[in-house]
Amino acid sequence: MADVNLFVSSANATTERRISPGWTIAQLKAKLEPICGVPPVWQQLELFVGAAQEGVRIEAADEDRTTVGAFELVPYARLHVADLRPASEQLDLTDVAAVDKFELTDAEYAARSDTVLAWKRQQKLGRFAAPGAAHFAAEAAAGGVVVGARCRTGDRRGTVRYVGRVPELPRAPVPEDDDIWVGVEFDEPVGRGDGRAGGRRVYACRPSHGSFLRPGAVEIGDFAEEDPFASDDEL
């Protein structure tokens, strides 16, 4: 006889299983124990077909010789496994507080070499990654080096037009700088370009008014634009 798919239910779970009519009742109960957690000697099996309110008990005087095929196995009927043990001996698998758990302290977990944390540490990912451009851009912003801020470098004054990486420019002399550049548009034509780098427009700027500088070379402050025609003698 061909195998039959049945829904196996118990107090703790419901699952679909393929049942062979050639199994004895004893064999069936042994196979059900890992599914429902009820020892064979305490199992009471009932087969419910369709919407039937009463089931047909699968039992026999000699369960080692009686096969499951002796009962009418309708595909996708429900085979319910009742636990006949005293309530005090039954396992309540829905009570997670009663289940022993494997626990580690944060220090014990950090010391292990077979964890996701250890893998991230080895691969330098997440919080173990080297600070990147976004980190140093944030640091620059924390220091006030943000687009639109007034600034000066030496005696040249201007406005910050760009903060970030510029792949076309030389790499940072020290890793900590992480290639962050500050694009400045000076008030006067004392710059070295117009906001382009390697032919690519990085920020809009008037010709000869732009320069790329490291954040440390830029001083942020309330630096008003100077009047080149003003006289020191004027009151």
Alpha-carbon Rg for the chain in angstroms: 39
| pLDDT surpasses 80 at 64 | yes
pLDDT of res. 93: 64
pLDDT of res. 116: 87
Q: What is the pTM of this model?
A: 0.42
pLDDT of res. 177: 47
> How buried is residue 175: exposed, middle or buried, by Cβ count under 10 Å (0-12/13-18/19+)?
exposed
| pLDDT surpasses 60 at 94 | yes
pLDDT of res. 75: 93
pLDDT of res. 126: 66
CB 9 within 8 A of CB 45: no
Mean pLDDT of 202-227: 92
CB 223 within 8 A of CB 152: yes
Place of tokens 């080692």: 64
Least confident of 5-19, 79-93, 195-209: 79-93
Token output for 186: 């000076």
Domains within the chain, CATH numbers bracketed: 4-84 (3.10.20.90), 102-126 (no CATH), 134-220 (2.30.30.190)
pLDDT of res. 98: 67
Separation in Å, CA 122 to CA 103, 111, 125, 126, 129 = 23, 13, 8, 11, 10
**pLDDT of 121-180, one tens digit each?**
887 776 676 666 666 666 677 678 999 999 999 999 999 999 988 888 887 655 544 578
Secondary structure of residue 217 in the 3-state scheme = helix
**pLDDT of 11-51, one tens digit each?**
888 999 999 999 999 999 999 999 988 999 999 999 999 88
pLDDT of res. 211: 97
